[in-house]
Structure 1
Amino acid sequence: MTPSGEYRHGRHVVSAMHVHLVFVTKYRRNVFNDEMLRRCEEIMIEVCDSFEAELREFNGEDDYVHLLVHYPPKVAISKLVNSLKGVSSLYLRKEFTGRVNHAIMHGHFWSPSYLAASCGGAPPTIINAYIEQQRRPT
């Protein structure tokens, strides 16, 4: 599947799928600093690459991160999220042990919950109106 601007072209599909993800640290502990966020972004880019997805935007604060991911239709969001959180947790806890241990997170880095919101394209009301206006054959 090859990216071409906003569209990804595969053998039998053209797609433009984006998801906005938000991950929160366990117990909303303030653990991130700029260095950790930079490393987290690097890890997230590598994980996205392994799914043939593209991390389009990344940012965060003390206790959460936002990601905008452009992904192919064959990717299950739950599997992508599981990998993003699992791999980043492993590396961040290993590389920033003192900072993570200080936050007393009881062996976990991320909260088990997350936000996944589809984004891009027209709003659902516009899509609904477009579909309703189609001329159905009689």
Structure 2
Amino acid sequence: MSLENDIRRGRHCVFLMHVHLVFVTKYRREVFTQAILDDLRVVFASVCADFEAELVEFDGEDDHVHLLVNYPPKVAISNLVNSLKGVSSRMIRRKNYPSIRKKLWGGALWSPSYFAGSCGGAPIEVIRQYIEQQQTPH
């Protein structure tokens, strides 16, 4: 897909923003199966849609997941993360997976912490050089 197709437009802005999120299970317990990861993908995509964001990529291992999300500038990452973790925890626990019921107790699926890294676009050094080379009026 070309860069032009990835650029999104709002009422007063043009943007291309991606964030890489990593969520870890409580106590780093190894509870995820392929079926659980498939369910998480559906839940995460739905929550992203509620925020006018897009789940671009998703995968995980038995104790953590990675998400790549394209989001609009009006979305606070912390609010997005709180919804993603809260809704997914409720939905997955509702399905009563034995691996989760056996290894996690007390109602929490996720560790309270998370990783969020901005990504996409040009490297910082290239942007810095571009800004330095602007023709400043005298």
Do they superpose with TM above 0.5? yes
| Contact persistence 1:19–1:119 (CA under 8 A) | yes
Deviation at 1:100, TM superposition (A): 1.3
* Residue in 1 that maps onto 2:37: 37
* Residue in 1 that maps onto 2:22: 22
Residue segments in structure 2 that go unaligned for 5+ positions in a row: none
- TM-score, structure 2 length as denominator? 0.94
Task: State the Cα deviation string for residues 23-77 of structure 1 (Å, max 9, x = none).
Answer: 0000000000000000000000000000000000000000000000000110000
| Contact persistence 2:54–2:69 (CA under 8 A) | yes
The CA distance in 2 between the partners of 1:57 and 1:26, in whole Å, is 23
In the comparison of the two structures, how many residue pairs are matched?
135
Query: Of Structure 1 and Structure 2, which has the larger fraction of its residues in strand?
Result: 1
The runs of at least 4 aligned residues of structure 1 exceeding 4 Å deviation read: none
* Residue in 1 that maps onto 2:68: 68
The CA distance in 1 between the partners of 2:136 and 2:21, in whole Å, is 37
Secondary structure of 1:19's counterpart equals strand
- TM-score, structure 1 length as denominator? 0.94
* Residue in 2 that maps onto 1:52: 52
* Residue in 2 that maps onto 1:115: 115
The CA distance in 1 between the partners of 2:24 and 2:97, in whole Å, is 18
* Residue in 2 that maps onto 1:131: 131
The CA distance in 1 between the partners of 2:99 and 2:31, in whole Å, is 7
Counterpart residue type for residue 103 of structure 1: K
Deviation at 1:11, TM superposition (A): 1.4
Residue segments in structure 1 that go unaligned for 5+ positions in a row: none
* Residue in 1 that maps onto 2:101: 101
| Contact persistence 1:30–1:62 (CA under 8 A) | yes
Secondary structure of 2:49's counterpart equals helix
